[in-house]
Amino acid sequence: MTKLEIDAYRKELLALRKRFGEDATQLQDEALRTSEGEASGNLSHVPIHMADLGSDSFEQEFTLGLLENDEQRLKEIDAALERIEQWRFGRCEECEKVISKERLEALPYARHCIECARKHFSRE
């Protein structure tokens, strides 16, 4: 892989890191706002319906799930940036073959070639 290609992947990874970082911050704020509202109690005299509590709980769990996904992507992106610094980017961590450009264009933080990724995910 050329230095120009590596630089392009670095820029793309940094842009993804920024985007997912902003998304994670927004999701975290949203999840905290929901839980803070519940913790502070209902200040109105209108009774809370159980279905509303269930919906709020579902929304908070869903938001926390999205946040967890974004945080995992951020870890993967940071690991890919580290591989760039160590001159290991673009090589499969399992078989050490070159990861195809098509795979890196679709998933620039890919750790494995498509064959090893299939093996890895079929075990789970």
Per-state percent for the chain, helix, strand, coil, to nearest 5: 75, 0, 25
Q: Looking at the structure, do residues 66 and 19 belong to the same domain, yes or no?
A: yes
Q: Looking at the structure, do residues 85 and 102 belong to the same domain, yes or no?
A: no
pLDDT digits (tens, 9 = 90+) for 13-48: 999 999 988 877 777 777 667 544 444 444 444 456
Query: Structural domain tally of the chain?
Result: 2
What confidence score (pLDDT) does residue 40 get?
45
pLDDT digits (tens, 9 = 90+) for 107-124: 999 999 999 999 988 876
pTM exceeds 0.75: no
Local structure of 91: helix, strand or coil? strand
What confidence score (pLDDT) does residue 39 get?
45
What percent of the chain has pLDDT above 70?
78
Local structure of 100: helix, strand or coil? coil
Q: Looking at the structure, do residues 59 and 84 belong to the same domain, yes or no?
A: yes
What confidence score (pLDDT) does residue 17 get?
92
pLDDT digits (tens, 9 = 90+) for 35-89: 444 444 444 444 566 665 566 677 777 777 877 888 899 999 999 999 999 999 9
- Phi and psi at 98, nearest 5°, equal -70, 135
Q: Looking at the structure, do residues 115 and 85 belong to the same domain, yes or no?
A: no
Bridge partners, 91 (sequence order): 98
The range of the structural domain enclosing residue 45 comes to: 3-89
